[in-house]
Structures are given as C-alpha cells and as structure tokens.
Structure 1
Amino acid sequence: MLLAIDVGNTNTVFAVIREGREILHRWRISTQTHRTADEYMVWLNQLFAIEGYDRQAVTGAIISTVVPPTLFNLQLLCRRYFGLEAVVVSKDLDLGIAIEYPNPQEVGADRLVNAVAAHAELGNQHLIVIDFGTATTFDVVSDTGAYRGGIIAPGINLSVEALVMASAKLPKIAVQPPETGRVVGQSTVEAMQSGIFWGYVGLIEGLVGRIKKETGHPMRVIATGGLGVLFERHTDVIEAVDVDLTVKGLSLIYQRNCRT
C-alpha cells in the first residue's frame, strides 16, 4: 500500500492507496506546523486500527506540501514508524509533464500534482484545473501535457472570514446561494449569501472565459476541492469534478519515480 500525504494551508490529507490507484481510505487533519511525528502517528495509528489496516503493509510514501515547516516531521513519521524514505514532490521529479514557467520553483506542489492527474485522466486536451482550497487556483495544462501557469484567487471561505472580521454587524454565513433563489437579497444574510456565492460564480465564469480567450483553444474544465461539487451545480463552465484528483496525482508521481 502507498501512504499519500497532501499538506494544504488549512488541512492535511492522508490517503491509503492500493495497487496504484485504488484509494482505500482518506483522512483529514488540520495543518499545524508544530505537530510532531509522534503526534501524527498516535492519530494515524488509531485510524489504521479502526479500518483494520496494518501499517507494515505500507510499502511506499509520498508527500506534497505547500507548508514547508511541516515537511521534516512528516518525513520523520515515514522514516520512524513505516521504515520508509518518503518521496517529496518537487519540480525535480519525473512528473510526466513539462513545466513551461519562467521559475518552476515558484509553482506550488499541489498545482503540479493536480496538473499531472488531470492530464492523465483526461488525455490530450487543453485543460483548466480549478482547485477550491484555502486559495482558489486556476491552472492551465496544454494538450501535450505542459503546465503553462495559472491564476491564484482568495478562497471563498477566506473571503467570508475577511468580510465578517472587517464588518461589525455582519454575521458569519454558510457558503450557499440564498434559499429564495433570488440574486437580490431581502435580508442581510440573503444579501451576503448572494454576494459571496454568485459573486464567486461570476469570478469562476469570468476567469475561465478570459483564459479560453487568451489561449485561443477549446478547453476542458475540471474542478477539485470540497466546494467543487457545490459550484458545479450552478455553472456550466465546470464540466467535471474529481475530489480525489490530488491523491490520484500523488499516486501517479510515486509510480513514475519508484517503479521498483
């Protein structure tokens, strides 16, 4: 089995994968830079026991992180408790895609992993990959499998928190369209829901349209991240959602770099 670890700014996902790409289970924990290898293992050991997994069956590990201070303890976790040297995602690995970017070191590991998975899943098509995370990213992949760059926008939950924190009388709201179905809200909550949700739909549609116009190609749009399913129901520009896209990408990269 492969242990795949994806560290985001808000949450860290641990996934157990069998025979290449069969995702057996995934667990999520808040990202904390001070969490030790021992703390990770106490938590993970309990989850392994609940699901009936033997940690001795883990024969490989791969880590993708956009929070560098977490890397040492995650590597130590793999080394001490699984007896493994984890593969760490970087531009220097064999990713199976080209990185057409002036400074490849600047590209977040998560964005490269998503690009690898999207190209493998959808084949030789021009792609836009939208990841709804702490930030919302739009990444462009060519039909030949080259990472071309993208866009980073504030994540929708981050936008809600900023609005509430900066406004004395505005309540915290759920990310959803108003129940009335109207765009024009008739209460503070409806007005906020409309502004946040439909404003974000406008951002998605506007940026996708501008990317397509700039590249001059028909493009397939795939989304990942927790809110991808919600937004897919309210816009035609998102053609597919795969919440496991990043985990699949980690599995593919591991296979390419650890064939033996």
Structure 2
Amino acid sequence: MNDLLGKKDIQRMDGYPSGYYKGVRYFWNNDDLIKKTNKLYFYVNMASNRCGGVEFAHTMADKLNLFTADGSYVIARDGDEWAKSKGAWEITSLPGITARHVKTAMLVPETNWSGYNSIHPYAGGVARGENGAAAFIFEKDDERKPDGGGVKHLQSNKEIFGLKAYKSYFIMEDTIVCLGAGISDQQPDLGSEIRTTINQTKWATDILYHKSGKSTTETFRTDNKYVHETLKGCESGNDIPWVKQNGILYAIFPELPPGRSSCWRRKGRRIGNC
C-alpha cells in the first residue's frame, strides 16, 4: 500500500489532460509493451509461461484467439482502422506474429479459457520516457489444462504448434524496430511455410512503396491507379524495401547469413549490432 501511495502522482499522470498522456510503458503482469502519443498507439502482446493467454470459446465470441499472445501487435493512428478490418483478417497473419500459414477457413473453433501461451518463462521489458525495449522466447504450449470447472477441452488445430522464435522490440521515439532470430520449425512434417506478418489493417490512404534495388517509388492510389516517383529525403535507401500507408512507414531489413551482423543509422546515431 505504501508503494502505491508513493506512486500516486505518476498514476494521476499530472500535466496531461485525461486521455492525452503519452510515453512508453511495460506491463510486467501482462507481458505487454505499449507506446502512446497523440498521433500513434503501439501495443505488443508477448507470451510466457507466467501469464495466461487470451481466453476463447467455440460457443461464444472470439472463437479463434489462437495467436493473440504470440507477439501480435497493433499500430494505430485512430483505432478505427482495426475495428473496420477485422472481418477480413487472416488469423495466421495477425500483425507481428510468426506462424505456420494456415487458411482461416481451415482453423477449427476451440474452447481454451486460459488461452495459449509460451512454454518458456522469459519475457521482459523496460521503458523510460519515449523509449523502451522488450523481448521474449516463444514456443506455443500445447498442453491443455482443465478449466475452472475441471473440464479439459479438446484441441483441434495441431498446425499452430511446432514453432520456436526469439523476438524483440525496440522503441526509439518515433521508430519501432521489431527483430526475430532463431526462428525454427520444430515439426516440419506439419507442412506449410513459416511467415512473419508486418501489418494487416484497412486500406486508409494511398499506398507508397519502394522495392529493393530501385531508385524510384511507386504509389498505388485509392482509385486503383499507379504513380511512379523519384526516391527522395528520409525515405531513401536503395537496399531496404518499405511500404508507407496512413502515415506509417514499414521497412524490412534484409536477412543476413549466420554469423553476420549489421548496423543502421538514425539521426546521426548508430543503432544496432555492429
């Protein structure tokens, strides 16, 4: 109680009107890292064996919460882009997750009141001001436990298991870097390729994109027409493909061979492992 009283000024978020606070926070009891400004909201939900997953039930709503604790994230400008895109989601392509690709129509609704989490205990993060970092070891737990009523519900989607990954997230003011390493298929006999999804939201604005090795960009407009433009300004960099939509630029770093390291620069500061 004394600890809570000592933090009461922080909890009140003095200096920010209700609903307009900003900063980065790590919620250790949920394995979540969140960034909020007046222009952007970023939320990543990690997994460990210390926390339950997200509950779901085949007789109710949220019947396919199979991947929501697998490092899924939301990058939102107004929040509306997610509410309006849910009906079109591919469940194995939730933003931020690495999963075996299975068509949504092939997934079978289940009941798991504890939700799926990871078999590993490690998930952690830090936050200070506008910066933060978090990481976890993911390997989905396939052991089904009895619910509060003593009922052990059946498991119907074996394809969602057999994947291990080390994932990390770094928030540096307005830049968010998501890294994955050691991604391995523990059950290749299940078939289907392993994919990591960057984003899956509604088409809100023209889509500006750049292909690796090209000196131009291309815009796919909301009227279904293409426009070519010369690469310029902070969006330059011939070797890094990127897509920009609704004011957010998604860049994909090239994959490196084992044993190689890389670094990248931002505003004159070297960031990364060199």
TM-score range (shorter-chain normalised) is under 0.3
State the TM-score, normalized to the length of structure 1: 0.26
Higher helix share: 1
Which structure has more relative contact order (CA 8 Å, sep 6+)? It is 1
Higher strand share: 2
State the TM-score, normalized to the length of structure 2: 0.25
